[in-house]
Structure 1
Amino acid sequence: MDTTQHKARHRRRKLGLIVGIPVAAAAAVGLSYGAGFGAFGEDVQPKAAAATVVPAWARDAADGFASVHALGQNGTYGGRDGAIVTVKTLADLEKYATASQPYVIVVAGAITMDPKGKEIKVASDKTIVGSGTSGQIVGGGFFLGQGVHNVIIRNLTIRHSYAGTWNDKEHDWDAIQMDGAHHVWIDHKDLRHMADGLIDSRKDTTYLTVSWNRLQNDNKAFGIGWTDHVTADITIHHNWFHETEQRNPSTDNVAHAHLYNNYLQDDPGTSITSAYGNYARGATKMVLENSYFEGLNNPVTKDSTAALVQRGNVFVNTTGRNESGGTAFDPTSYYSYTLDPAADVPSKVRSGAGPRSAIGTATTATPAATTLTVAGDGSGQYRTVQAAVDAVPANNTSRVVISVKPGTYRETVKIPSNKPHITLQGSGGSRQDTVIVHNNAAGTPKPDGSGTYGTPGSATVAVEADDFQARNLTVSNDFDEKANPSISAQAVALRTGADMVLLDSVIVTGDQDTLELDTAACEKLGRVYVTNSYIVGNVDFIFGRASAVIDHSVITLKKRSDGSSAGFVTAPSTPADRKGFLITGSTINGDVSDGSFYLGRNWHAGGDATLDPQTTVRNSTLSKAVRSTPWSDMGGFSWKDDRFAEYRNTGPGAGTASTNRPQLTDAQASGQEIADWLGNWTPTASQ
């Protein structure tokens, strides 16, 4: 990155992180960092602890509106903070489902409700999941009351509370009823033959996602409303509504109803005849996309007061009302999603909806990692780190740990995009014991005479594969700026251009452009979580367009090669619809002059005015090296037009709110926490 401010260079869901995250919460904050590595010392460091291996399905989190961070809840991940318990009796199911603690509750076998129609009152922070295809609830269901939140109900068959009356007005016996709940995910279930509704979402229940379910053989499938308020946000996708007469669904006064890739089917010549399909009522705003309607009467219906936008739907042998009109909303402003072609929906949903054998069973536990060893002295399987990377099979599907013995490895390492799930891990007692280092810079000529490396190409370690981890080692670029004044000095130590990258207990050190946090392409997501680590540099030394969290780490400011103190910690180039950099619970210090470093400047890469760079520094300790006006313009763009803020920082470099030092309010800060950056990804150490 250019060190001047007037010209930009062209260059290419409040969360305690869950199982296995080795966070040394007290270690990083407030540490002094001198010539060595502060309180950790040369030989002592809080080593990354081994993760508790849990099945992948127990870590799953919701998509759609249930993934949105709101009402004090960061997405929907159920009981994954708690123990996994297996239940086979009604007493045990009710005991754990109503407990105040979080639980992942595995239903193994069929549990019959007594009395018939009983609905267990589920408490917050629960995952209730069937074991493979065997988990069943017979003759009753679940109730989520006012304020209950963060609940996942998955992979169950819920059936047969039917009391003999087709349009039953006496028995309010639902499979799942929600009255004023929020952040709920209902997924991969078989719901049928109930006395009243299969799913009732009532009384302002919101941030709800209903996905991959079979709703069948019932009068009332899925009713939404029972309120005068227009506040509910609901996503309904990849469900099979089969032989259900009404409420398919019926959405009344829903602020944002996003329905896509659903399959609605009414078989000809049966005793069940559909009254209507998707119905937008009251003040509902509905977006209906790429769904498939077969044999239905009145497949899409709206009130005169509702707004309903249709896109890409298919209608086969349907009759009656098929309506749209008004202005709804853009779902992508709330979350990302991928549409399947409507023509593929029947086969995809028939084969994929309902309980899955791989959910709720031990067979989905993370497989044991393969370990490859590297030692420069020849005592390992490979002498270089790159040789071990080369040995990993392309398109590998499980974790490969490359264990690197203590030593200095002068080489460049590239993790190509077709080799995901790699962990690069030093095996020594300290992160300083294992060092990967090289000295390419942006202006360094390539050996083959084809030009210079450029900034991205200068990286000592380049990561282009998703689900990468680095642990307990140092990555360095030791390019000598003073000895090479004619060479462009951007010199990257570690570059990430992938999604779900975990850097745990590492040192990343260089001068200018030390740590490049990028994405595989402009339109692709790239999430990075850095914890319990050191990052060292002077100019724009944390930069790029990724959505990155630096948590409980030490950011060390370094003098320039001429001995002067001046620099910028961050240079985000964030797309307008993404999160940028979040520095939280960390320390920023170093042996530099007082008031000489900015926290960041706004990099509009290539002069792109559509970018909206973002850095938030919160709950961190700032040394007096930080300037009292900590943000700077870059490339002709004003930082005040982008997203830069602080929140509750401490230390001599912290300051009070002003036009030159914006501070988040408590309400704003509640939407700028770790889970807001990481979404449905929970970083988990590989071993």
Structure 2
Amino acid sequence: VAINKDSWCDNYQSSAPSVSVTYNKAGLNPIKVASNKSIIGSGSKGVIVGKGLRIAGAENVIIQNIKIENINPKYVWGGDAITLDTTDNVWIDHVTTSKIGRQHLVLGTSASGKVTVSNSEFDGQSDYSATCDGYHYWVNYFAGSSDTITYMNNYIHHFSGRAPKVNGNSFVHAVNNYWSDSTGHGFEVTSGGYVLAEGNVFSNVATVIEAGGDGATLAITSSNAADCSSKMGRSCQANSFSSSGTFTGTDTSVLNKFGSADIPDAVAASSVSSSAAGYGKI
């Protein structure tokens, strides 16, 4: 069931039957976070229920050690956990999102530069899902006009798609993450999306990347790990797969997106674990 947010139902599902539902309006009205602000939880006490965060037109923001949960999970368009749009220097670290109506993390169509998403858990388990199987579909959507995202040491599990979707003009360096348990696809890389994926673990993810996307992807294997050396000053780390499909992508032009940016080190996929991701673990 979808909420008719911004007349979405009228415009895209006009012939669908309508029903009367009750939902929490707070989910559609996120907390706005201004520049030079930090939201840091204490232990495992930092939990936001029913309402997300929106960082727009802001810079120098830290979101750390919190959990965001139960944002109208029954309903599509029920609300996003974290939204970025027109931002710079944002760090999202040791955050857990769970039972979210729409996106767990979304970068809107305007540019969001120098974003780091690290040590976070995107938990897709839900009694309600668009795919009717208890696995969440909208996990991460990176769609900005000039986004640069370091996506590192995260745990993404129980998902059925868009984990993440990358397009617009977004560059994602996905390094040392742990994807687990999917009934759909992980990556969806379409026009304007650029992804370098290295040192990641995929466990029980049958479709690691959706076929047919026209974005640019470089997925590291043992045979192409040395291709990174000329641009990154080091070899890349190969991805690892267990009961999972293949991850195709050999477009080395992705490496040009680094420019002069600092590049994080990567460890071998054999050293990657999901146990340290999420709130309450720092």
TM bracket, shorter-chain basis: 0.7 to 0.9
Does residue 309 of the first structure (1) align with residue 209 of the second (2)?
Answer: no
Match of 2:280 among 329, 350, 356: 356
After the TM superposition, which residues 133-152 of structure 1 pair with which residues of structure 2 at under 5 Å, given as runs?
133-145=44-56, 147-152=57-62
| CA distance in structure 2 between the partners assigned to 1:265 and 1:153 by the alignment | 24
Structure with the greater alpha carbon radius of gyration:
1
> What CA distance in whole angstroms lies between the structure 1 residues aligned with 2:71 and 2:49?
7
Over 3 Å counting, the alpha-carbon distance change for 1:141 and 1:304 in structure 2 is closer
* Pairing partner for 1:131 from 37, 42, 46: 42
The structure-2 alpha-carbon separation of the partners of 1:219 and 1:130, relative to structure 1 and needing over 3 Å to count, comes to same
Amino acid paired to 2:204: G
Q: How many residues align?
A: 228
Deviation at 1:354, TM superposition (A): 0.8
- Aligned pair 1:224/2:145, yes or no? no
Q: Note the 1:78-89 alignment, pairs <5 A.
A: none
Match of 1:178 in 2: 84
SS at match of 2:275: helix
Q: Distance in 1 between matches of 2:281 and 2:196?
A: 32
Q: Find the aligned partners of 1:343 and 1:300 in 2 and give their Cα distance.
A: 21
CA 300–163 in structure 1, closer or farther in 2 if over 3 Å, else same: closer
1:514-556 Cα offsets, whole Å, 9 max, x none, are xxxxxxxxxxxxxxxxxxxxxxxxxxxxxxxxxxxxxxxxxxx
Shift of residue 300 of structure 1? 2.6
2:174 aligned counterpart, secondary structure: strand
TM-fit CA distance, 1:332: 8.3
Cα 1:233–1:313 shift into 2, 3 Å: same
Counterpart in 1 of 2:157? 242
Counterpart in the other structure of 1:283:
192
1:293 corresponds to: 202
Does the 8 A contact of 1:186 with 1:211 survive in 2? Answer: yes
- CA shift at 1:150, angstroms? 1.0
For the residue of structure 2 that corresponds to 1:197, the secondary structure is: coil
Matched residue, 1:158: 68
Shift of 1:283: 2.1
SS in structure 2 of the partner of residue 324 of structure 1: coil
In structure 2, C-alpha distance between the alignment counterparts of 1:144 and 1:302, rounded to whole Å: 32
Asked if the contact 2:155–2:178 (Cα under 8 Å) also holds between the matched residues in 1, the reply is yes
Evaluate the alpha carbon distance shift between residue 234 and residue 116 of structure 1 in structure 2; reply closer, same or farther with a 3 A threshold.
closer
Judging changes above 3 Å, is the alpha-carbon distance between structure 1 residues 236 and 302 closer, same or farther for their aligned structure 2 residues? farther
Consecutive unaligned residues of structure 1, counting only runs of 5 or more, are: 1-112, 267-272, 359-687
Contact kept, 8 Å, 1:129 with 1:135, in 2: the verdict is: yes
Structure 2: tracts of 5 or more residues without a match: 1-23, 125-135, 221-237
- For residues 174-573 of structure 1, the aligned pairs below 5 Å read 174-203=80-109, 204-217=111-124, 218-225=136-143, 229=145, 231-266=146-181, 273-301=182-210, 303=212, 305-311=214-220, 312-319=238-245, 322-326=247-251, 327-329=253-255, 331=258, 333-345=260-272, 348=273, 350-356=274-280, 358=282
Q: TM-score, normalised by structure 1?
A: 0.32
Q: TM-score, normalised by structure 2?
A: 0.75
Distance in 1 (CA, whole Å) between partners of 2:212 and 2:88 is 26
Identical amino acids, percent of aligned pairs: 25
User: Quick check: 1:118 aligned with 2:43?
Assistant: no
Retained in 1: the 8 A contact 2:50–2:71?
yes
- Paired with 1:302 and 1:252, the residues of 2 have a C-alpha distance of 15
1:116 CA displacement: 4.2
* Mapped contact 2:27–2:80 kept (Cα < 8 A): no
Between 1 and 2, higher relative CO (CA 8 Å, sep ≥ 6) is seen in 2
Q: CA deviation at 1:357?
A: 5.2
- Deviation readout 1:494-528 (Å, 9 max, x if unpaired): xxxxxxxxxxxxxxxxxxxxxxxxxxxxxxxxxxx
Match of 2:130 in 1: none
